[in-house]
Structure 1
């Protein structure tokens, strides 16, 4: 900083006035830079943040939220952080919100609607300005509680006919049908599945089964594994299929993480991929293009989902009247063919 930081009052905690003195701005400018950063210049906000660090000032966010009716907090509920399938979405979402002066709080549901309900009960007491939910399956108690809050909500990574509020996602049923059409087009007829027991993965699985049945393929062996996805689970899934003689010509996995486990198990058994067994993933993780062989998968535009969620929330915060025409966005998906199929 260009000026020497002054010390806080002897025996007292640093105050907003101390920050203003160090930054060389008025106390109201400090308040705006911390609570409404969009109304001050980037240079001014940087000076204020430097002064905050220099003085050790801790804003009283509770008092600020009472005065402004804003907490500047957005709650994000995710099934897991054990793998990176949601990472691009969360990163783009949090970066955009942070740029507008909002902080985020993550809660993990473990793919369980009941755990989501418990988290919501704890989070709503903090009165977040917005809530992001992964998926559209919630308990009735959660639905009723969310309806009554009036807090802007976005359901992500899914589509449904009657969303709670705003919706940014894609159709898991369409993914299942697209994978079936692709594999049938490649000439595969003996198909098996390794899937987590999470609701969206199972919906893709059942859609795949239905599409195959419509083409006369009624027998599809499956290993349904407990969440979260790990390479060890993928290896176990293929091992069980092979022990039963049901791996077939291609294994469809509900995530790239499981698919990479299947590839590892196949390599350990000297099963050639795709010569003896093809493998299909989901998610297009950054590692999918660099496995051996590179993994065919379904790409979801995670950054676009995150950016769209953030923009929808920020627009609602700025104009609550937009609730009359809530966002409904289908970001679609892309089937990526690589050497594993």
Structure 2
């Protein structure tokens, strides 16, 4: 920094302000500093700066997978909201494993993130204690916990399942199935399980059976999951309509129906979740329950910036909701 200040003919403080808060520096001085930075190839030592500012400039973002486009979009929304203020996400992936989430947290906390964003509200007791004691803002996303660790931005997966039940009933179906991953094992999709729980409650309250809510295979992160689950359902006699906990699985189920010569929606209606790009482009296009993954990330970033600035941010839980999108796969 002293080398840059000498070359630019300004004080080290002006160099520091230019790199940290450029709006506080005159355009002429800023241009001279940036030219000197480029000439010298200077890279600020954020670790050293963090010793005095207690800010490291990164936010821990913990998600179950990056193969699901919605989580990637959430990361993009978070980055777009926080990058203008100098924050970048450091991403950890859990593979839908509660135990792995704890491992990721223990690896990230020594690096002193300025905030933590974690998908879901189901944590091991140790992980929840780590989050509560982290001493930085914590936001749980993609769910609506009654008692968040700190803050939450998302929606009710349970209510999304109830909406799926009502939508398929309104379309005239009386034999309705729900397909999702198994509820056992190390890797579990708790949000998908909540959607199926909501579906089951919605069916029972309408006086319809829930015996075709099937839990098959591992967490629904592959097209094959939907194809295999649909094959199991068809082996049991099939259904008039099917709700799958992800558009990825719904696309796999659609392909399985086409391989078997089943017409969608004439022989079976298919409803997914997530409103992924593939569901908007396949034939027939997938009906779905749409959420706003970019909006979840952006709203989380805005919330964190307020908390990091010391603002009294309310409410503790931000519900961004969801909406039903009916396309050709349900008729």
Question: Do the aligned partners of 1:37 and 1:100 also contact (CA within 8 Å) in 2?
Answer: no
Note the 1:1-341 alignment, pairs <5 A: 16-20=1-5, 26-36=11-21, 39=24, 52=37, 54-196=39-181, 197-218=188-209, 219-245=211-237, 247-319=238-310, 322=312, 325=314, 327-341=316-330
CA distance in 2 between partners of 1:90 and 1:50 (Å): 32
Question: Do the aligned partners of 2:200 and 2:213 also contact (CA within 8 Å) in 1?
Answer: no
Query: Aligned-pair distance for 1:86?
Result: 1.5
Deviations along 1:311-340, one digit per CA (max 9) or x if unpaired, are 111111111x527x5532110100101110
CA distance in 1 between partners of 2:251 and 2:274 (Å): 12
CA distance in 2 between partners of 1:168 and 1:336 (Å): 22
Change beyond 3 A, Cα 1:71–1:275: same
- Runs of 4+ residues over 6 Å off in structure 1: 41-47
Question: Do the aligned partners of 2:231 and 2:256 also contact (CA within 8 Å) in 1?
Answer: yes
Q: TM-score, normalised by structure 1?
A: 0.87
Deviations along 1:223-244, one digit per CA (max 9) or x if unpaired, are 4221251112221221222233
CA distance in 2 between partners of 1:46 and 1:277 (Å): 64
Bigger shift: 18-27 or 206-215? 18-27
Q: Which residue of 1 aligns with 2:185?
A: none
Aligned residue for 2:55, secondary structure, equals coil
**Structure 1 portions without partners, runs of 5+:** 1-15
Bigger shift: 150-159 or 19-28? 19-28
Query: Aligned-pair distance for 1:208?
Result: 0.6
Question: Do the aligned partners of 1:33 and 1:45 also contact (CA within 8 Å) in 2?
Answer: yes
**Structure 2 portions without partners, runs of 5+:** 182-187
Query: Aligned-pair distance for 1:35?
Result: 3.2
CA distance in 2 between partners of 1:47 and 1:106 (Å): 35
Change beyond 3 A, Cα 1:133–1:66: same
Aligned residue for 1:217, secondary structure, equals coil
Q: RMSD over aligned Cα, in angstroms?
A: 2.3
CA distance in 2 between partners of 1:201 and 1:338 (Å): 22
Query: Aligned-pair distance for 1:275?
Result: 0.5
Question: Do the aligned partners of 1:279 and 1:340 also contact (CA within 8 Å) in 2?
Answer: yes
Aligned residue for 1:252, secondary structure, equals strand
CA distance in 2 between partners of 1:172 and 1:44 (Å): 52
Aligned residues: 323
Question: Do the aligned partners of 1:34 and 1:101 also contact (CA within 8 Å) in 2?
Answer: no
Change beyond 3 A, Cα 1:263–1:136: same
Question: Do the aligned partners of 2:220 and 2:246 also contact (CA within 8 Å) in 1?
Answer: no
Bigger shift: 171-180 or 47-56? 47-56
Aligned residue for 2:164, secondary structure, equals helix
CA distance in 1 between partners of 2:47 and 2:123 (Å): 29
CA distance in 1 between partners of 2:179 and 2:328 (Å): 19
Question: Do the aligned partners of 1:154 and 1:166 also contact (CA within 8 Å) in 2?
Answer: yes
